[in-house]
Chain A
Amino acid sequence: MELIDRRPNPHGKNTENRQRVLTRARQAIQDAVRNAAAQGRIREIGKDSAVSIPADVLHEPSFHRQITAGRRHFVLPGNREFVKGDRLRRPPGGAGEGSGEGNSASEEGGGQDSYRFVLSRDEFLDLFFDDLELPDLVKREIAATTSRATSRAGLTSDGSPSQIDLGRTMRRSMGRRIGLKRPKPAELIAIEEEIDGLEACRPLSDRQFLRLQTLREARDHLRQRLARIPWVDPVDLRFRRFTPVPKPTTQAVIFCVMDVSGSMTEKMKELGKQFFLLLHVFLEKRYEKLEIVFIRHAETAEEVDEDKFFTDTRTGGTVVSTALELMHGIQAERFPADRWNIYVAQISDGDNIASDMTRVNRLMVEQILPVVQYFAYVEVSIGGSVLRGETDLWKGYKSLADATPHLAMRRIEDRREIFPVFRELFARKAQERAGG
């Protein structure tokens, strides 16, 4: 009998198969992920991410019968009161026992409604944001503070013990031992045994005595050599070498501009915040090297931190140009256009003081649009938008958007629209996808 302890064996034998399920059911899982995200709060995206996918995606078909008519016999245990000739009502639940075989067959086939998958946050977000990206991210300049990654680079003769390359070390050690004719321990043992044997029998004949002498000399010689030529010598040691390699990264900054003026109702602000949260999660997940600047404005604009941006409330009148000016100021000061990819996402209800529009237009045309890669304007309008028609800001931007394709405009009226609009704005371009 062999008794083997398999418990320390590597775990996760089925990780690869699980991954294959994800690949196979990618579309379905993606839909499930997006549904889950739409139902939950966006801030909690990916935290408790169990999704159910319909079983038919993973259905394994086979030829099997379905029993719909005919006469069958089956035997059941546990009779207490029935005698031959009793008639029983068919158990409830449609065919019930009647199509027992059919049921079990379809259970094998696809009776189960759905599979529940627990995804890691990374897997979840990957699927959630799959095929989205920041448009036209060009490598303007490799950042001065390039990040470094380590990569394998051959071998070295010194290093930390954890990086020792045992195979090569032992190979070299063996080569050296053979080359230097290090005696084998077995030889020494054989000689020692013979000496012991001779020493045990007394008196010794001359021949034996001579033999003993030679043996003793040989033994000393062997011991000396054994001690002099070590099993593993420092010269044998080989370590895996790692070398840091500069990793080029592109720098990007995204300005989140939100109108918090009095005309924005709480609900509109909520929509706006949801949109930015989504943007935030997306950017955090996809781009390591990315600055985010939060700007909110009423009649004046200010730069705030993330927490304040998403939680603090403030109201006032509306002067959009202040926000644009501030944005442009920050950009000029901290993010020079020749070295940074610049993106802007602006959310507003479209209200602006009429006198401010010319200023907004001039700022956009002269200062902002020339330097930014992409400007996404999202207008929130809850009810009444039909009555009001196009807002001041919408009209103003519209005239610009026709000439500049990298100014994109969308409207959101309801929570449900956030994600579709978001996807439209950040969908990977078709030709890019085709090009790889």
Chain B
Amino acid sequence: MLYTGTDWTFATLRDCYGEIDRIASEELRLDTYPNRIELITSEQMLDVYTSHGMPISYPHWSAGKRFVSHENAYRKGLMGLAYEVVINSSPCISYLMEENTATMQALVIAHAAFGHNHFFKNNRLFREWTDATQILDYLEFARGYVARCEERYGVRAVERVLDAAHALQNQGVDRHTGSKRLDLRQEQERARERRAYEDEQFNDLWRTLPDEKTADLRKGEDADPSTGQGLPEENILYFLEKNAPRLANWEREIIRIVRLIAQYFYPQPQAKLMNEGCATWVHNRIMHRLHEKGLIDDAAIMETIHSTTNVITQRGFEEGGGPNFNPYALGFAMMTDIARVCTEPTEEDRLWFPGHAGNDDPIGTLHHAWSEYRDESFVQQFLSPKVIRDFRLFRIEDDLSQPFLLVDAIHDEQGYREIRRSVSASYDPGLQSEEIEIVGVDLTGDRILRLEHRTRPGQLLHPTDARLTLDHLSALWGYGVIIKEVDASTGAELGSYAKA
């Protein structure tokens, strides 16, 4: 028996970790980054929330705003705190709340330090977009860099750039041209060179002729976009960093920092369903195995079941559930279902999933799913009629020109595929994000930056926000900016905003 009752000590945590590790690696064949488990208080948990789970962050008022609203919600009892938060880094950091009972600590170790950790290390999206081994160092560097800039150029000046860059951070990723895994260590080297260059610039009073080295550097900095090369460009922050005519080097570096951190977070929402499903399935499996091995008592397994059940409850549409599903609920249900199809398939499953029905390798099949899919494709591939029936899913057609909503598919033979397609589409990042591109600029002429939002009638930009964001964009660009909203299918102009 690892422990009895609710109290835990550090020795208990180590023992639990050891046993969980054994089950995870021997039975579930999980492959994880090294783990670092940190015990924190509820106040510190609020801090973690504020910085999106990042252990280090540069100072900015928006963090203070998030902190205040979280704090208010927590104080009023509107919001409970998570039992854990886990960071995609190597070592993989899991934050555990001190208030958790011994069982909850074991559960969240299994959930975060093994479930999420395995997912981070193995899922293709994370492998391609993020570099877990270097993110902690990079964040440290980013905070230091921002702090140095504040010292040198003033808090206001830095805040101005950060505000503007934050407003555009959703436009800071190369969605369509494919991912570039960042080499964050090289990033820091680059910044160092740039700073050395700036320091030299600083002595301009004493040096009238540029020596060869700085001349070369300058050439490198000012890539010439006047010919319209590289356009259209969907990564607005990247474009500004490279081409905005009036920015100082440190401002470019700050834009780059915002952009790289945004890119780091980019994959997370695209695999949330799977990530939580994977972690919940893993912790559930591990806790039951601990119980079967006689390492935890009946009270502990009851608590596990109780807490897991709470987490995986999907409220019906009348109780406010959907159209966004509880990722724990749907994720866990699908993982469990995959395991079931592998071992005890029905006729229906054999028809729908000839690939893995009855292959008797649930672990292998799950591993494959966890590493090769993201939410959209995962649902498209694995959402089974049984899960659709269990969740009693139905599809609604919402035509805003009609006074009523139409139920156009329910959980029956005709409806399964329709429903699956729609659920899958709701996880498609391509459909969720705005398609905004820089389409033109005349650097030798008026220097007005032209953008295009390709959309459909009835799906225009939020006007106030569009104007405010445009202000930020023009502040970075230094000259006028125009954004046109065009119909993607016909090319007709639907609206436009301009900032002189």
With beta carbons under 8 angstroms apart, the residue of A60, A61, A66, A69 that contacts B401 is A69
Q: Is B233 an interface residue (CB 8 A)?
A: no
Q: Measured between alpha carbons, how far is A109 from B62 in the docked complex, in Å?
A: 12
Q: Is B291 an interface residue (CB 8 A)?
A: no
Q: Are A7 and B393 in contact (CB under 8 A)?
A: no
Q: Is B35 an interface residue (CB 8 A)?
A: yes
Q: Are A79 and B394 in contact (CB under 8 A)?
A: yes
With beta carbons under 8 angstroms apart, the residue of B65, B98, B422 that contacts A75 is B422
Q: Is B456 an interface residue (CB 8 A)?
A: yes
Q: Measured between alpha carbons, how far is A191 from B250 in the docked complex, in Å?
A: 60
Interface of A is mostly: mixed
Contact of A65 with B406 at beta-carbon distance under 8 Å, contacts A4-B36, A6-B38, A84-B414 already known: no
Which residue of chain A has the shortest Cβ distance to B109 in the bound complex? A1
Which residues in B have their C-beta under 8 angstroms from that of A67? Answer: 400, 458-459
Q: Is A70 an interface residue (CB 8 A)?
A: yes
Contact of A117 with B466 at beta-carbon distance under 8 Å, contacts A17-B59, A61-B167 already known: no
* Chain B 398-453 residues near chain A, CB threshold 8 A: 398-401, 403-412, 414-415, 419, 422-423, 425-426, 434, 436, 453
With beta carbons under 8 angstroms apart, the residue of A13, A19, A24 that contacts B44 is A13
Which residue of chain B has the shortest Cβ distance to A101 in the bound complex? B432
Which residue of chain B has the shortest Cβ distance to A18 in the bound complex? B64
Which residues in A have their C-beta under 8 angstroms from that of B425? Answer: 73
With beta carbons under 8 angstroms apart, the residue of B68, B317, B463, B472 that contacts A76 is B317
Contact-residue size bin, chain A (C-beta under 8 Å from the other chain): 35 or more
Q: Are A6 and B465 in contact (CB under 8 A)?
A: no
Q: Are B323 and A6 in contact (CB under 8 A)?
A: no
Q: Measured between alpha carbons, how far is A95 from B399 in the docked complex, in Å?
A: 11
Interface segment, one of B9-17, B200-208, B222-230:
B9-17
Q: Are A78 and B36 in contact (CB under 8 A)?
A: no
Q: Measured between alpha carbons, how far is A138 from B424 in the docked complex, in Å?
A: 74
Interface segment, one of A85-93, A269-277, A284-292:
A85-93
Q: Measured between alpha carbons, how far is A4 from B113 in the docked complex, in Å?
A: 14
- Min distance, Cβ B499 to any Cβ of chain A, angstroms: 13
Which residues in B have their C-beta under 8 angstroms from that of A100? Answer: 323
Q: Are B41 and A73 in contact (CB under 8 A)?
A: no
Q: Measured between alpha carbons, how far is A87 from B411 in the docked complex, in Å?
A: 17
* Chain B 449-500 residues near chain A, CB threshold 8 A: 453, 455-466, 468-469, 472
- Min distance, Cβ A172 to any Cβ of chain B, angstroms: 32
- Min distance, Cβ B203 to any Cβ of chain A, angstroms: 31
Which residues in B have their C-beta under 8 angstroms from that of A104? Answer: 324
Which residues in B have their C-beta under 8 angstroms from that of A98? Answer: 398, 400, 405
Which residues in A have their C-beta under 8 angstroms from that of B423? Answer: 75
Q: Is B124 an interface residue (CB 8 A)?
A: no
Q: Is B129 an interface residue (CB 8 A)?
A: no
Q: Are A17 and B64 in contact (CB under 8 A)?
A: yes
With beta carbons under 8 angstroms apart, the residue of A21, A78, A85 that contacts B64 is A21
Q: Is B325 an interface residue (CB 8 A)?
A: yes
Which residues in A have their C-beta under 8 angstroms from that of B37? Answer: 1-4
Which residue of chain B has the shortest Cβ distance to A108 in the bound complex? B465
Q: Measured between alpha carbons, how far is A20 from B391 in the docked complex, in Å?
A: 46
Q: Are A79 and B411 in contact (CB under 8 A)?
A: yes
Q: Are A73 and B393 in contact (CB under 8 A)?
A: no
Which residues in A have their C-beta under 8 angstroms from that of B391? Answer: 77-78
Which residues in A have their C-beta under 8 angstroms from that of B458? Answer: 67-70
- Min distance, Cβ A344 to any Cβ of chain B, angstroms: 41
Q: Are B98 and A116 in contact (CB under 8 A)?
A: no
Q: Are A75 and B408 in contact (CB under 8 A)?
A: no
Q: Is B355 an interface residue (CB 8 A)?
A: no
Q: Is A62 an interface residue (CB 8 A)?
A: yes
Q: Which of B398, B410, B468 has the most C-beta atoms of chain A within 10 angstroms of its own C-beta?
A: B398
Which residue of chain A has the shortest Cβ distance to B453 in the bound complex? A63
* Chain B 120-162 residues near chain A, CB threshold 8 A: 155, 159
- Min distance, Cβ B471 to any Cβ of chain A, angstroms: 8
Q: Are B406 and A87 in contact (CB under 8 A)?
A: yes
Q: Is A80 an interface residue (CB 8 A)?
A: yes
Which residues in A have their C-beta under 8 angstroms from that of B405? Answer: 87-90, 97-98
Q: Are B456 and A70 in contact (CB under 8 A)?
A: yes
Contact of A78 with B472 at beta-carbon distance under 8 Å, contacts A4-B38, A64-B434, A73-B398 already known: no
Q: Are B44 and A78 in contact (CB under 8 A)?
A: no
Which residues in A have their C-beta under 8 angstroms from that of B95? Answer: 6
Which residues in A have their C-beta under 8 angstroms from that of B83? Answer: none
Q: Are B468 and A61 in contact (CB under 8 A)?
A: yes
Q: Are A73 and B396 in contact (CB under 8 A)?
A: yes
With beta carbons under 8 angstroms apart, the residue of A7, A72, A110 that contacts B39 is A7
Q: Is A229 an interface residue (CB 8 A)?
A: no
Binding site for B on A (CB under 8 A): 1-7, 9, 11, 13-14, 16-21, 23-24, 58-80, 82-90, 95, 97-100, 102, 104-106, 109-110, 112, 115-117
**Residue contacts A-B, CB under 8 angstroms, 29 given:** A3-B13, A3-B14, A4-B37, A5-B10, A13-B47, A17-B60, A17-B63, A18-B68, A58-B62, A61-B466, A62-B168, A63-B434, A63-B466, A65-B434, A65-B460, A69-B401, A69-B457, A70-B400, A71-B397, A73-B398, A75-B426, A76-B321, A76-B323, A78-B391, A84-B415, A88-B404, A88-B406, A102-B462, A109-B462
Top 3 nearest A-B pairs (CB, nearest first) are: A78-B316, A69-B458, A17-B64
